Each structure stands twice: as C-alpha cells, then as structure tokens.
Amino acid sequence: MKFTIITHVVHKKDKQQFVAYEPYVREMNLWLKYVDEVQIVAPFSFEKKSTIDSEYSHRNIELNEIPSFDITSIANAIKSIAIVPVNCYKIYKAMKWADHIHLRCPGNVGLLGCFVQMLFPSKPKTVKYAGNWDPKSKQPLSYRLQKWILSNMTLTKNVKVLVYGEWKNQSKNITSFFTASYSKSIIKEIPKKNLIEEIRFIFVGGLTIGKQPLKSVQVVNELKKKGYNVRLDMYGDGVEREWIEDYVAENKISSIIKLHGNVDKKTVMKAYQNNHFLVFISKSEGWPKVVAEAMFWSCLPITTEVSCVPYMLNYGNRGAIITDNITDIVDQVIEYLKDESNYQKQVKSAREWSQQFTLEKFEIEIKKLLKN
C-alpha cells in the first residue's frame, strides 16, 4: 500500500533518518506497520534532533518538504499567497500517488489538504482530527472551516474522520476515537498514594499561554500559604518559563516548585507514578494526552472542562473538572485532602479506565481502518 501523510508537524533529519515530535511519530509508526511505501508532505527544519523528537521505524519514507506558513493575520496571509499554490501542488502530487490518504488536522497544512482531497473522491482516506471537536467551542475560522469540510459528505467522500469524544448530531463519517501512550506489557501495580505527608503535584506540557502553567504554580503556592505540605514538579518548556521563574523568585517558593524542562518519556512516566495530582488548566485541547497518561499511573487529574475532558473524567467521577479560578481549584484539592476515600476511589476508577487504551488496542483499531 502507498500511504501519504499530510501534516503540519515539522520534520528533521538525524543520521539519515527522519524524526519529528515523539508522540506523533509513536502513533504514525503504528499506522506505517501496515503500509509498503510512505510519502510525507510536511515542513522541514535543519535544527538538530531534540529530546522530544523520535525517529520513524519505517525504512521506505520520502519527505516532500513544504515551507511553513500561517494565516493568523492579514500580513501573514499576504506573505502566504505565493506559498499556498506550491504547497497545494505538492499535496496534490502526493495524494495522486497514494492508495490511502491520511490527513492530520487541524492545522494550516491540514486545511490545504482538506481542499485538495476533494479532487480524489474515490480514494480511501482517514483524517486524525487532533484538536477540539466540540461543536460549541469557540475556535479560529480555519479550524471551523476544516471541521465543516470534513463533516460535509458531499465535499468529503470515502473518509473516516477520527475525533476525540462523543458528540451528538454528527455526520456518518465522524468516528469517535482515542489515542494511546503505553503498552499493556508495562502495566504494573502502583503503591497506594496516601494523602498524609507531602502532597505532590505535577504539570506536564508546553509552558505556553494556552496551557496556563503559571496557574498551577499559583495553586500550589496558595495551598502552601494555607499550611499544606506541597510540591510541584513541572515538565516542559516554553515562552512562559521566564514568568514562572520570576513568580517563584518573588514568592520565595523555589523549594517547592521545580522546573525540569523538556525530558524524555520515561522520566515523565516515573513522575506520574510518584505524584498525587496532575494540575492541568488548559484553554484548548483535543485528546489531552497528559490527562490520560496521568490517569494510567494513578495520578488524579484536576483539569478544565475542555474538549472531551468531561467524557474522559466521567463528568467528575475520575478526577476533578474545574474552572480556571485559583480559589476554586484550591478548594477542590482541599476537598480531596479532607476525603481521602473519595480520592482513592477516583484514582482507581481513573486508572482502570485509562488502562483500557493501550498501544495494542490502538494498533488493532488502526489496522481495521486501513483494511476498510
């Protein structure tokens, strides 16, 4: 099978092998087990491989490099006028070559792919929509346009659109899906985490405005002020790091807030196992991978009501769904500390739910998609 991937994910080269963002590559390697040849249409960077990059396991891959672009402003849109036709042509060639077309949305490259795929109504396609599919959510015009095209079965034919969560009144080509991080083989018993001595919190993700990492720091600081023995470990990096460091210094809380930067998957996995709570106050998500991973390792999520989070947390029975108000989050944590039996009950429920979604199950479902 000839398999074409259209994606906005930036690719690099390391020792003659293509690499990209590890969670994306980990998933794509499962798809690529069942194909013979691969063409990827994606932006390329000459930067060195980072700790959050991983290599493809397939050995018959061709990368069709396209320049990055964005249409977030009028100025950027004008700059993109010359780029878009070239990108569309490369996407068209790769789709024409393919037996199966795979789109990664939402994104600027995915948007172009949504338009070009209309020219191939008879070819089988899958679309992984990794963003928030909630019809009621406020989203950029380009995201809404992609969702509209993909849901329109007159424009988009012979496709299965994989979305996170279960939503009412969807077209027949929309399929509720999931993602996975861990193999069934690594599931192990996690020692009971008692809420007696130090209460440990974790943040995992980019230190970006959308993830609101500073609020996690503020929550832990407020708990400290109330006399609780707390600690927060933060894994990830980004533009908000400087603001966090300034806040930590100003409030003299460096002893309880640790910024670890970008680390490998094994380090994060061990951190989940050693912490009581994930505090994740994000504004926008698709399938929040870190929430599912925390649940997998008995680390209870406290997170905002975004995308499919309510579905994942069983509407507050497998973790806490909160606003982004600091006082409300602190009060929610204190409720757990006062009622440890409820905490332990929810941890168990969260773990059992998340451990259903293993890489093995994910691979089985992917294989079905490629056969149909």
Both tokens of 243, joined, read: 């603001």
C-alpha to C-alpha distance for 24 and 179, rounded to whole angstroms: 10
pLDDT on residue 192: 94
**Domain limits at 323?**
185-354
Structural domain count of the chain: 2
Q: What is the pLDDT of residues 187-204, one digit of tens each?
A: 999 999 999 889 999 999
Q: Looking at the predicted structure, is the pLDDT value of residue 283 above 90?
A: no
**Strand 300-304 versus strand 53-55 pairing type:** unpaired
pLDDT of residue 179: 86
How much is the pLDDT for 23? 87
Average pLDDT over residues 122-143: 91
Q: pTM for the full model?
A: 0.83
The residues near 335 (Cβ < 8 Å, ≥ 6 apart) are 342
Same domain, residue pair 219 and 283: yes
Residues 227 and 330 in one domain: yes
Residues 11 and 155 in one domain: yes
Tokens 């690529």 belong to residue: 32
| pLDDT, tens only, 161-194 | 999 888 888 999 999 988 888 999 999 999 999 9
Same domain, 334 and 248: yes
Structure tokens at 158: 């012979």
Nearest Cα residue to 179 out of 167, 163, 166, 203: 163
Residues 210 and 281 in one domain: yes
Question: What pLDDT, in 10s, does the model give residues 52-77?
Answer: 899 999 989 999 999 877 766 666 66
| Domain match, 54 and 30 both | yes
The residue that leads in pLDDT, 340 or 131, is: 340
| Summary mean pLDDT of the chain | 93
Give buried/exposed letters for 274-293 (b at 16+ CB in 10 A, else e): ebbbbbbbbebbbbbbbbbb
Chain segment 5-20, per-residue pLDDT in tens: 999 999 999 988 999 9
Sheet of 53-55, strands arranged across: 12-14, 17-21, 53-55
**CATH code at 275?**
3.40.50.2000
pLDDT at 286 over 80: no
Residue 46 CA neighbour count, 13 Å, CB half? 0
Domain co-membership, 19 together with 151: yes
Q: 215 and 167: one domain?
A: no
DSSP 281-294: --S--SS-HHHHHH
Give the H/E segment covering residue 344.
helix 340-354
3-state secondary structure of 90: helix
Q: Are residues 128 and 208 in the same domain?
A: no
pLDDT digits (tens, 9 = 90+) for 223-269: 999 999 999 999 999 999 999 999 999 999 999 999 999 998 899 99
Query: Residue 155 is which amino acid?
Result: L
Residues 254 and 322 in one domain: yes
**Judgement on whether residues 206 and 314 belong to the same structural domain of the protein:** yes
Cα–Cα distance, 357 to 354 (Å, whole number) = 6
Q: Are residues 197 and 142 in the same domain?
A: no
Whether the CB-CB separation of 112 and 86 falls below 8 Å is answered with no
